[in-house]
Structure 1
């Protein structure tokens, strides 16, 4: 699932950036979505690119607390599953972690998963020390995990797998990982294995984008010790992206406190075309540098056109008309629905207000119309 928003912590008014087709992972969102039906299984074999089986690989279901280990023949089985859309995560030493999407309808599905050797583990790599590495990792943590009270109780246990690259000219931070990120969330009692596909923080556009697949494990083995997390988990779920998509599937957006609007792009009439702007800059630059006596005369004009070039070609406009669920959600299969839209969606959660602590500590700036209260 690819969303340009924080998946772990709900924003007070968050935006789902454009996606042409986003599969709603029904079973992964809420186990109550699928009702009494025959239990199904996902079976398969883990192999390398030469076709040799790989024993001992760990196989996880993304978004669940379900996992297994491949046997000596590389075979695995994940049973007692409901129809739905699943993401398998596979991990074994010496190979790059892999994910595989599987749709269960009315029968067991068998899949082969091919792993690639992890070159960084199999060869000696000399890495030049980067004095800014810790700063980049801190930037990543602030945007990936956040700065909320809950986030302060989260810790990445294996930061050595993080590969960060920063482009100062573009003010663009990109992050990948050579293995699962292991995140300990003491606020909610979870240990999370997160297969990070991609992370990008564009400071100029003020946009954070990342995609990946989580697997959850309980930190406490005893059920009696997990009870203390029930309330914090319920609070974290309310208004989250998972809550939103579950409500979307059940067509209970209004009942659950969500409002959906659209953000559309319109031409910026104050900005002329690039051809006109560049022609004027070129003309004024030749005059400016060709005759020093005219420098003062042309400075303001040259600055005017250069400033116009930095203006956006389009402007984002919030359409306050509520978006109807049936215009977004389509039945894909019997137990799987899809969400399709062209414009960005502006989603407001009205059952909770933004606290002062959240505003001061989250680091997120959310623009909202003046007549909209500080809802989540």
Structure 2
């Protein structure tokens, strides 16, 4: 009996050690060029994890799993600071050196921009979104936004040197967002933004808290974060995702390129060199318009491929903490456990589908390079590796939950 007890204690000890070995710390010092900075706030981007530097500027973040993290640092009088840290098989020590936030007023020319509010409204729409949750979001400090519109490129860019504070009363979060870059091209309608969000819980009543919990469940399920988590675990189909392909085929309504070009050349040629014109010296404008529209037509169109794509054919191990997704054409991801809402259907993000395909939430994921790396928590390593269309393009900052978010159903399962 004693031997049995000792054996049990031994295995319990081994289990505790195994758990301890799977978590690590990020520690270090926050300082300027001279001394440590006491009271500096240190956040983990995408999480609700934070700490404050001690009197010597030292800090420690514990119980972190292997993966890629972005540290965010904020203290009055200094520019916000971010640093990428990768935890593989051991804890990490970092030295964070901040720069003073000194405004050189004698070099700044202040000009009133009559279009500033219009640009900020566009930024809100494309950054926070147009979903029902977005209606309950507010940027608390829009004055920190630096907006610029390049008319030659039809591009709106927005930057800031301070944390952008967004209050989300739909999900119960206050976000401190370090915006690295925001860009919207009004010609291509492509939106790109990158940055580092930190989540704080809004203080509220128990009844309101329960509403937040329910709203967060809806926001999480079917999201890209949910998809990549399930894909990492090999449970994407089990959790409601069906993967198809969006393939490009030649546009059947467009003439071949050589026919279009040769015909336009004949139409535009000088009188006497062709018999296409009705009268000498006068262009047949109707014919010219037809072939000009032909030239403007896309050479290919998208086709919804019905065959299911097996996740095993797409996902590969990159290293022990990261997986790699690679494919040709574009992926169509259907989330079968939620139907598209009326609010979404009335937006310009809706994806065309064959009539017999159910009204599931549909997103299209386009690779901008050879592949994309992702983590167990659903985080994407390469911020520009994917371009979304459909539901995932519709959902933006207003529908974000932290990277360490655990759905209520899983919490209940884990507690049993």
**Fold shared, TM-score > 0.5 on shorter chain:** yes
Unaligned runs of 5+ in 2: 1-17, 272-276, 362-416
| Alignment match, 2:360 | 375
Q: Distance in 1 between matches of 2:206 and 2:86?
A: 31
CA displacement at 1:65 relative to structure 2: 0.9
Contact 2:128–2:134, Cα closer than 8 Å, also in 1: yes
CA displacement at 1:230 relative to structure 2: 1.4
Q: Distance in 2 between matches of 1:62 and 1:180?
A: 12
CA displacement at 1:286 relative to structure 2: 6.3
Decide which of 221, 225, 244 is 1:242's aligned counterpart: 225
TM-score (norm 2): 0.69
SS in 2 for 1:297: coil
| Alignment match, 1:62 | 45
SS in 2 for 1:36: helix
Q: Distance in 1 between matches of 2:36 and 2:300?
A: 51
CA displacement at 1:282 relative to structure 2: 6.9
Unaligned runs of 5+ in 1: 1-34
Decide which of 181, 197, 208 is 2:191's aligned counterpart: 208
CA displacement at 1:135 relative to structure 2: 1.3
Deviations 1:199-228 (A, max 9, x none): 233333333222222110001177786334
| Alignment match, 2:316 | 330
Decide which of 142, 166, 169 is 1:183's aligned counterpart: 166
Alpha-carbon distance change, 122 to 60 in structure 1, aligned in 2, over 3 angstroms: farther
Larger Rg: 2
Q: Distance in 2 between matches of 1:341 and 1:211?
A: 24
| Alignment match, 1:149 | 132
Contact 2:149–2:157, Cα closer than 8 Å, also in 1: yes
Q: Distance in 2 between matches of 1:103 and 1:283?
A: 62
Contact 2:344–2:350, Cα closer than 8 Å, also in 1: no
| Alignment match, 2:289 | 303
TM-score (norm 1): 0.76
Asked if 1:173 corresponds to 2:159, the answer is no
Contact 2:165–2:174, Cα closer than 8 Å, also in 1: yes
* Matched ranges for 1:1-376 at <5 A: 36-38=19-21, 39-46=23-30, 51-52=33-34, 55=37, 56-71=39-54, 73-115=56-98, 121-123=103-105, 125-168=108-151, 170-220=153-203, 226-266=209-249, 270=254, 285=268, 287=270, 294=280, 296-360=282-346, 364-376=349-361
